[in-house]
Chain A
């Protein structure tokens, strides 16, 4: 029996800012027994347009995405927020166009956030990554509240040799990112973010992990600005052992 075809929806942030997360995700999906494909007709899930009230652009991007993955058995997304957009919101966009709605629903059924995919859909068992250090985990809002992602990343992390997870206070509290919110209402965002990084800094950990690059860039930007030693990585990097690149926002360590 051929292995299932899993399309990787890279997400625009991973594509542009941190390809290592995409490679980590691909390695994990392959370890779970799938063939990974990366359609090049994908760009962005459309959330910036959707949350700015631009329905027309959102629908164009939704159809573009849906049709890029027609030959895939699964669509796997290394982001709870983008996965929720594909899985929960795409069908709503076409509520008044039955044919497209059917197409969007069929697509949504194939979509899975990476950690959930690796625990519930194509169980990976033990992950390839090893990490001797202490980490804490931030539950990103969309993944947590729209897709119920809570135990999946923790279950996977518990199989990483050497890793010790300590929960931070208010792990489920928003980091203040909110997409364009962080730019448009920067000082409110900063107040929410400060509370988040302060909470993370209370636990004995050297890394904050999360499943969404937006939140991670937000937290990492605050920590480097404050010169705080706590660093940020996408959970996929740790699970896959994809640690060649420095943590988010950190300088490349010169190789001798």
Chain B
């Protein structure tokens, strides 16, 4: 996917000025946020579960190579072909090789963020293979030529009216006078269109929520059942996953599932939780005849040792973005890459470098809401701050910023000078501002004053008044 993080301020401005997007985003607090709150309140041991989930992820990540090798051995024993890919290019190549040897002309896909990360659809289409997304949200945005704006609700930036209009323009083979005013009718129409694709697809590609070492299985969770059809009906099933998805045991995966759905959609469990283990066996009723698992590194190994390991705990629930005031204000597209919100602000610089992505960890109030809801307790604020440290070490962006911060730091670390400057500065500022109590126009801070007044100082500094009034007898 094309990186557009350098234009974050312009993208955010456009998002704020987009009334359609704003009306879609306005549903988040009463939707996913309220649903999570209710689901968590119904489980008294939820905090303990979060701690357990964190511990499972940390223990796995600290011995990742062994768990991956165990997974490879078991998956191979169960009849799957395991492929390793160092980066996105190798992953794309391995996947298209499997498709080519299957003579694939149509690929159907379940929702998968890693395939967005590696730009799989464009690559397959460039190789003459049709790709159809089967998750309703992904199907909608694929038709629109858009990227997902949320990791679990890819079309969350759209309203029902948008989808109805889209369906009328794409599905021209259907009766133009049909009724399409409800979510149910939209789902029914997508289902009918997609059913044909499921039956004719040669290859089904899914992601994986977890890979289980002890059984060699992949687990996906969906609410539409599209993932099941994607991995069962076509001749060939390809699982695409990054190496951090591995979990040692099924029991541990169950713990993670308990926090995943509650954090994501406020469900106890998703409608479908599907465990796939190898290709169809002799006595199976259905299933693919070939199963391939493509394990992708694409920067994860480096994250393990670069102070960003905790971000790899992520189980992709999306709670951090649902609860983020910045995400709620601008939506996912403004972030300019695959993963938006707080986890995106940590992950994107880790995968693509901080130089072009430095807006992301900076565009946060550090309110910490994300950390309080993260089911695996990723210290998102600390990790964003750590990216700010690294961005700072590469030199402040503008000369003005350097001048301001340098002057302030010089004075703040010299208390006597600081208090002297403060006395004069505040005396001048209050002389101009005291009558009205605030400033409406000033040469700076421009951003602040564009939207709000700057309260004027009361007149003298506290330090000055305290010294003049003999220890605490005010005025």
Contact = CB atoms under 8 A, between A and B. Distances in A.
A224 B466 CA distance: 29
Contacts of B447: 182-187, 189
A53 interface: yes
Q: How large is the interface on A (under 10, 10 to 19, 20 to 34, 35 or more residues)?
A: 35 or more
A181 B345 CA distance: 15
Given A50-B385, A54-B405, A246-B437, A187 B13 contact: yes
A76 B438 CA distance: 28
Interface in B420-475: 422, 425-426, 434-438, 440, 445-448, 450-458, 460-463, 465-467, 471-472, 474-475
Contact of B458 (A18, A43, A177, A183): A18
A174 B385 contact: no
Nearest to B411: A43
Contacts of B283: none
Nearest to A240: B474
Given A57-B413, A60-B413, A192-B326, A19 B437 contact: no
Interface in A61-115: 61, 64, 68
Contacts of B456: 249
Contacts of A184: 362-363, 447
B408 interface: yes
Interface in B393-407: 393, 405
Interface string A214-243: 000110111011000000000000000010
Given A36-B472, A38-B466, A176-B365, A248 B455 contact: yes
B132 to A, nearest CB: 36
B391 interface: yes
Contacts of A217: 454-455
B415 A57 contact: no
Nearest to A217: B455
B191 interface: no
A188 B367 contact: no
Contacts of B405: 48-49, 52, 54
Contacts of B440: 225
Nearest to A10: B462
Given A57-B409, A142-B368, A249-B438, A20 B448 contact: no
| Closest 10 pairs between A and B when the two form their complex, measured CB to CB | A53-B392, A178-B365, A186-B447, A221-B452, A249-B455, A174-B367, A19-B462, A190-B451, A53-B388, A141-B367
Given A192-B326, A224-B438, 20 more contacts: A16-B422, A23-B465, A23-B472, A26-B466, A43-B412, A48-B408, A51-B366, A52-B405, A141-B369, A174-B325, A178-B364, A184-B362, A185-B12, A188-B329, A192-B325, A195-B325, A218-B452, A222-B451, A224-B455, A245-B458
6 contacts: A22-B462, A51-B366, A184-B362, A186-B447, A193-B451, A249-B455
Interface of B: 9, 12-13, 16, 29, 325-326, 328-330, 362-369, 371-372, 385, 388-393, 405, 408-409, 411-413, 415, 418-419, 422, 425-426, 434-438, 440, 445-448, 450-458, 460-463, 465-467, 471-472, 474-475
